[in-house]
Structure 1
């Protein structure tokens, strides 16, 4: 898992996790974004005197030092910055050609390796997204969800099996979309972020169960 997950969030996903107005404000604050650190498991930014941390687990784990609850303008601005500065991030951790322990060839090789890794990710077929999800540990996910959510998820799945139009699945290059009867807008699963990284506007009381039901229904439809 790497910072590349943040390049995969499209406008619809960012809007779903926040709102359209907040996203517009975030775009206007792009000039205020400063990359402070590129660590092994997260990116750290300064945005308008606030510190933003983008862990490689995805947007649902992002943190900001401001007083806002949940996803704020500063987090969105940082993600938009990542999407506009992929090249800079790719080369940020490559060693300097003046380093005593490395030479120009080492620098070029490491840059090429990082670029190649990103290119390979970008070329993933939709089947790869599906295969990634089908490798999820369902027992672990169920343990995270808890018994009450498992029971509710079972009810959702039984309904979808009887009325398949209530859960339509779309598999795209980086994400899997579930259009369900649980909310007007779809549930979005980015395989790289796992169960906890799922995005939706399902009511909070049903969100975990709804997400679990989506994964369970996907398994039922694709595992012999």
Structure 2
């Protein structure tokens, strides 16, 4: 069993809706040789950010520029040249679930192409409880379901971290954000891992890490995301050196 299967094979979006074509131009489908295994998001012209546990599926390619994976053309497929996993990552439950994927070629960014990187925080951020953010992905839309071809998006509320730790009985790692999945019928599921938690429409603040086992039927426990703002020096270093 992959750790991510115990966490989220990718995870998938529950009670979401189909994403608008012109939205979320930073979304990436991280794939092995034949299928979607995780989400991810473009953060520079040659790097995609995702969850470290997505490496369990030995990803080879990234698809950018389409919300419908059935319509992925060859020009949208980028090979992964290098995987930069956080050096302290061991498994999902111990945290540091973050990985940068260096693409084999730069993504050609111009206004005519539906691809655009998303901003990252520039400093530590404290999200207010109940603030509404969004998460998107191609994960399953119900427990035990298959991943989907058309990207789904859903609004999720931020959950106070101390409260989240209590509900999880202190079994969540440091440097995380909790949002959705608790007393809400909306959240993530298998196949969404690695996707971004986006607040204020413009900034990726979290990376989908895990939910409770393979259960995507809520209310249960809050969904857990890696807090990007806690890893900024590591991210900036790799993006500036263009390697790890």
The structure in which a higher percent of residues are helix is 1
Larger radius of gyration: 1
Q: Which has the higher contact order (CA 8 A, sep 6+)?
A: 2
One fold, TM greater than 0.5? no
Q: What TM-score, normalized by structure 1, do the two folds share?
A: 0.31
